[in-house]
């Protein structure tokens, strides 16, 4: 039978079978389109603990669903589908499937922290949004976006050397995201620099590019940071039951 109000049904719940016979009745093809049930079939009982294990999500269990966060939210004013109260509820009750459905909205949080100040239970909804976006990434629900690669490369350099070199960050970023280094804006920037920058600074810049000056006594700091980062990653991987490697 044709379905007249398809807009009301989630597309993934509309199912056609190429060949299906039930009790001797042929129910194949478009004229026998099925609507799958939309009820939530189970809870993921670990979901709240998983989010709480990630930075920012620690206080999620305090939420009493008052909606102050959603009311205060900058993004919600523009996109009503952006609803932190709703996601906090989904996480607390373990409705993972429903949460993952919004994976392309959750990370749009602009971190204005209005919710942080509105929340009467000190849940830190902004932190929960951050933790949830991180969770979606770690669980592989969202693809690794170029900006994440950039962040990774950036922090990697800071941890390793105690400083960043823009040229090196860009170079690695473009390489890892399969983009040519010869970006028009970059060419313009560099040629502009060469033309207008004082010679002394240009020489200094060139020297630094070739010899990579080091931060003095960085090794101990690097080791301490690395130890902490590894420790946190191990905790997170354990909490999320990911294999030893996973994402950074």
Partner 1 sequence: MSSKPVLVVGGGPAGLSAARALADAGQKVVLVDKEDRLGGAPILSGYAKLVPSHEWAKDAIGGMVSGVEGHDMVEVKTETRVDKFEGDPGNFVATLSDGSKVEASATILATGFTHFDSVNKPEWGFGTYPDVVTTTQVEQMLSSGAGVKCPSDGREPDRVAILLCVGSRDRQIGREWCSKICCTVSANLAMEIREQLPNCNVYIYYMDIRTFGLYEGEYYWASQEEHKVKYIKARIAEVTGDGKRLLVKGEDTLVKRPISIPFDMVVHAVGMDPNVDNMTLGAVFNVDLNKYGYIGKPSTYAHMSETSRPGVFVAGAATGPETIDDSIAQGKAAAMAALISANSTVREAAE
| Strand, coil or helix: 21 | strand
Q: Contact between 40 and partner 1 (CB under 8 A)?
A: yes
Output the six-digit token pair for 27.
């129910």
Q: Contact between 39 and partner 1 (CB under 8 A)?
A: yes
Please state, in angstroms and rounded to a whole number, the distance separating the CA atoms of residues 54 and 71: 25
Please state, in angstroms and rounded to a whole number, the distance separating the CA atoms of residues 80 and 70: 9
Q: Contact between 95 and partner 1 (CB under 8 A)?
A: yes
Q: Contact between 51 and partner 1 (CB under 8 A)?
A: no
- Interface residue with partner 1 among 12, 18, 25, 38 (CB under 8 A) is 38
Please state, in angstroms and rounded to a whole number, the distance separating the CA atoms of residues 35 and 15: 6
Residue whose CB is less far from partner 1, 97 or 223: 97
Q: Contact between 76 and partner 1 (CB under 8 A)?
A: no
What are the residues whose beta carbons fall under 8 Å from the beta carbon of 136, sequence distance 6 or more? 100, 103, 106, 107, 142
* Candidate ranges 61-69, 74-82, 104-112, 219-227; the one touching partner 1 (CB under 8 A): 61-69
Residue 90: exposed, middle, or buried by beta-carbon count in 10 A (0-12, 13-18, 19+)?
Answer: buried
- Interface residue with partner 1 among 89, 150, 159, 218 (CB under 8 A) is 89
Closest CA to 139 of 41, 237, 234: 237
* Number of neighbours of residue 248 by Cβ within 10 angstroms: 13
Please state, in angstroms and rounded to a whole number, the distance separating the CA atoms of residues 157 and 163: 7
Q: Contact between 61 and partner 1 (CB under 8 A)?
A: yes
Residue whose CB is less far from partner 1, 38 or 245: 38
Residue whose CB is less far from partner 1, 36 or 151: 36
* Candidate ranges 13-21, 41-49, 184-192, 229-237; the one touching partner 1 (CB under 8 A): 41-49
Q: Contact between 45 and partner 1 (CB under 8 A)?
A: yes
- Interface residue with partner 1 among 51, 54, 73, 90 (CB under 8 A) is 90
Q: Which residues of this chain interact with partner 1, rule CB under 8 A?
A: 37-43, 45, 48, 61-62, 65, 86, 89-90, 92-95, 98
């Amino acid at each position: 039978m044709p379905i007249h109000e398809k807009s009301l049904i989630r597309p993934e719940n509309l199912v056609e079978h190429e060949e299906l016979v039930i009790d001797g009745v042929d129910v194949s093809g478009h004229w026998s389109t099925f609507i799958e049930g939309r009820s939530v079939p189970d809870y993921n009982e670990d979901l709240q603990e998983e989010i709480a294990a990630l930075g920012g999500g620690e206080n999620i269990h305090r939420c009493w669903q008052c909606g102050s966060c959603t009311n205060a939210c900058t993004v919600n004013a523009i996109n009503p589908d952006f609803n932190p109260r709703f996601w906090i509820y989904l996480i607390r009750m373990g409705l993972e499937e429903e949460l993952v459905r919004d994976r392309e909205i959750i990370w749009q949080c602009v971190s204005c922290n209005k919710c942080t100040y509105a929340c009467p239970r000190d849940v830190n909804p902004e932190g929960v949004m951050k933790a949830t976006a991180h969770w979606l990434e770690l669980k592989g629900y969202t693809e690794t976006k170029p900006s994440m690669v950039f962040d990774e490369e950036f922090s990697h350099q800071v941890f390793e050397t105690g400083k960043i070199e823009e040229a090196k960050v860009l170079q690695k970023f473009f390489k890892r995201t399969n983009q040519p280094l010869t970006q028009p804006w970059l060419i313009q920037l560099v040629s502009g620099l060469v033309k207008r920058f004082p010679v002394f600074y240009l020489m200094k810049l060139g020297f630094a590019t070739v010899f990579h000056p080091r931060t003095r006594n960085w090794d101990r700091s690097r080791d301490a940071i690395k130890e902490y980062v590894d420790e946190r990653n191990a905790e997170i991987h354990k909490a999320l039951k990911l294999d030893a490697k996973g994402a950074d």
